[in-house]
Amino acid sequence: MFTFMTLISKLESQFPPLFMQCFLHENEDGQRAIATTLLPPPVSTSNEEEPLGRMLAKELFNWEAHPGDPLRVWYAALILSFVLLGNPVVKEMVLKTPWDAPSEPGANHYV
C-alpha cells in the first residue's frame, strides 16, 4: 500500500537538503539553533546524540574521509547555506566561531 507518509519518507531519504531548506526558510530560531551546535559543548558525555550542527561541521572538515561519496560534503555545505541565508545574526555568529583547521592533510583537529 502506498501512502502519503511512504512518499514523504522516500523523499526525505533521497532529498534531505530540500526538507532542511523548507524547515529553515525564514525560520530564524531554527537557524540559530543549528548554528549554536556547530562547536562541541565544553563537556559532553558519550551517550549524547550528536547535534546537527556538529554533524555538518564534521562532514565539511572531514571531506577526505569519504572520497567515494562527494554528496556528503555537498549536502553539508548546502544545509549550512540554508542556516546562514537571510540571517545576519547567525552569519556573524558563524564568522566568530573559532575553527581549528587541520595543520596537515588528513588530520582533523575539529572533531
**Domain count for the chain:** 1
pTM equals 0.71
Mean pLDDT score of the chain, rounded to an integer? 77
Question: Residue 105 pLDDT > 70, yes or no?
Answer: no
The range of the structural domain enclosing residue 63 comes to 14-39+49-95
- How many CA atoms within 13 Å lie on the side-chain side of 83? 24
pLDDT digits (tens, 9 = 90+) for 67-89: 888 888 888 899 899 999 999 99
Contact 92, 75 (CB under 8 A): no
* Residue 109, in any domain of the structure: no
* Residue 22, in any domain of the structure: yes
pLDDT digits (tens, 9 = 90+) for 45-71: 666 788 888 888 888 888 888 788 888
* Residue 18, in any domain of the structure: yes
- How many CA atoms within 13 Å lie on the side-chain side of 57? 22
* Residue 70, in any domain of the structure: yes
Q: Count CB-CB contacts under 10 A for residue 31.
A: 24
Contact 36, 56 (CB under 8 A): no
How confident is the model at residue 9, as a pLDDT? Answer: 59
